[in-house]
Structure 1
């Protein structure tokens, strides 16, 4: 059995004690990903967060932004490649959706190939429109 298979994943909803060095390896394939420092700011500024950790290392996260009254949007779900396919993303989303259960609407915008993942968690397909400014993808000022 590999070390990865023996890992015990713990879950948390508190990003306030995280350090940037715990947030590396995310955004695989992004041409201009946010830095760990920017990711930390993003998580600490979110309405709700769900974190998956292997020891002190963050191996996955999902976050929500919200008005806290009627609606929320889940912009990011990220799981490190070595931890994918182990149910980490599903558990992160289940926990985050439970935290948002008091709201009227919770929206996720995703690519077609990952829509079945979200459908398995009870979300339904709907139309949507987006605008992207890829020059700002890293979130840097």
Structure 2
């Protein structure tokens, strides 16, 4: 059974592994916990039977009008069973009073986010690959 929580109680480096799929230099589990702690909001999907985090979503905000969803990821073996959808619905509910809910995604994910009344826009990014570090 999948449980959705917005607390890191009982979450540790051992039960939050395998994320940041496809990254050249993914953050370590320790850094992942720091990301959760540093986020304004987050939700986790936890497989209660296995005691491990299988999905997460994070957002940062000015807590007045704007919010930015920074990550939404589900472990590969748990995809396509509604976990990402449920995580996004929970975060959208958390952010419902903000004027702006923004995110950047790959083109192949545009259809997923359109299901939640999001629309395509333009943006600019910098990726400081030299600064990215697993530790």
TM-score by length of 1: 0.90
Is the partner of 2:121 in helix, strand or coil? coil
Q: Is the 8 A contact 1:64 1:75 kept in 2?
A: yes
- What is the alpha-carbon distance in structure 2 between the residues aligned to residue 69 and residue 75 of structure 1? 17
* Alpha-carbon distance, 1:121 to partner: 1.6
Is the partner of 1:97 in helix, strand or coil? helix
Partner of 2:53: 58
Partner of 1:31: 24
Where does 1:1-141 land on structure 2 (aligned, <5 Å)?
8-55=1-48, 56-138=51-133, 140=135
Listed one character per residue, the Cα deviations across residues 20-64 of structure 1 (whole Å, up to 9, x for unaligned) are: 111101111111000000000100111110110001200000000
Number of residue pairs matched? 133
Partner of 1:3: none
Greater fraction helix: 1
Q: In structure 2, list runs of 5 or more residues that go unmatched.
A: none
Is the partner of 2:125 in helix, strand or coil? coil
